[in-house]
Amino acid sequence: MINLIPTPAKKRVVTEYWVRTISLWAFLGGTALLLTSTLFIPINIYVTNQEDYLQTLLASNESEKNNHEQSSALLLKANNQSALLGQTNKAYTALQLLPLLQGVAIDRVELEEITINQTKDPLLTIAGMAMTRQSLVEFRDELEKQENFLTVDLPISNLIEEKDVPFVINVTLATSTASI
């Protein structure tokens, strides 16, 4: 049928056909683009809001982290202080051992200095003056009889003098004594 139309009219019909076709495709493309844009706007808004929420959450986590670090520092400080208190309490055991040592000391032995070293095996150091070598040996024997002491170490160099014997005795405390 297009063959029956004159040539100038035929060119006009073909031009109108392509204009309508291109216009329709442009309209459909624009509509699809508008629809796609409309669908992506809520997603964009959601993502933006989600990003703001995550930044707020990150900021609060940073403050919680700082609070946690401060709490950890305070806990470490308290732990160190409690350890010092425990050591102070262990130093008190020297005072509790004093009546025991005075009971063991005979009249011829004078105790001048008593120190306690808090280690794995607590060590008690007793320094003093004995009237004679024999009284020092008797004092050492009395210390060895005590169940609160594991070992009594009297260096042989302390037995050089015959009279007015200065001495230093190292005594390892029993573990039950360390917790007195």
Q: Residue 176 pLDDT > 60, yes or no?
A: no
Res 100: pLDDT: 73
Range 115-138 average pLDDT: 83
Q: How confident is the model at residue 89 (pLDDT cuts 50, 70, 90)?
A: very low
C-alpha dihedral (58, 60, 61, 63), degrees to nearest 10? 130
pLDDT over 70 percentage in the chain: 87
Q: What is the pTM of this model?
A: 0.45
C-alpha dihedral (24, 30, 35, 38), degrees to nearest 10? -160
123-132 and 149-153 beta bridge pairing: unpaired
109-117 and 123-132 beta bridge pairing: antiparallel
- List, for residues 25-72, the tens digit of each pLDDT value: 999 999 999 999 888 888 888 888 899 999 999 988 888 888 888 888
Q: How confident is the model at residue 2 (pLDDT cuts 50, 70, 90)?
A: low
- List, for residues 147-163, the tens digit of each pLDDT value: 878 888 888 887 888 88
The C-alpha R_g of the chain, in whole angstroms, comes to 49
Give the HSE-up count for residue 3: Cα atoms under 13 Å, Cβ half-sphere. Answer: 0
CATH number 3.30.1360.100 is the correct assignment for the domain at 92-178: yes
In whole angstroms, what is the distance from residue 104 CA to residue 100 CA?
6
Q: Residue 91 pLDDT > 70, yes or no?
A: no
Res 157: pLDDT: 82
